[in-house]
């Protein structure tokens, strides 16, 4: 997933419940800080000043829709959809 011009390159992605998920976030905005935060318990939201990248790994939770966002910029958000 990439962040550029204060937006994510995608606002939705699907995974299956129980899947091992690794999300690599690449901040393409030079000199601007971003993070990637999921509405899942226990995950951090490491902030980095672009250009940079961070990685988050987790097991996909129960089916449903979960929110993700850059907590620093209101224009950067989307949904993680967990399918059965």
- Residue 26 reports pLDDT greater than 90: yes
Across 39-67, average pLDDT: 95
Q: What pTM did the predictor assign?
A: 0.90
Burial 6-33, CB ≥16 within 10 A → b, else e? ebbeeeeeebeeeeebebebbbebeebe
The pLDDT-based confidence of 60 (bands split at 50, 70, 90) is very high
**pLDDT the model gives residue 11:** 95
Average pLDDT over all residues of the chain: 96
């Amino acid at each position: 997933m990439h962040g550029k011009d204060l937006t994510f390159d995608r606002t939705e992605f699907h995974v299956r419940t129980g899947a091992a998920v690794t999300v690599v976030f690449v901040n393409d905005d030079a000199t601007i800080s971003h993070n990637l935060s999921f509405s899942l318990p226990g995950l951090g939201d490491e902030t980095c000043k672009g250009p940079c990248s961070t990685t988050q790994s987790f097991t996909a939770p129960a089916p449903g829709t979960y929110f993700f966002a850059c907590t620093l910029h209101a224009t950067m958000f989307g949904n993680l959809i967990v399918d059965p």
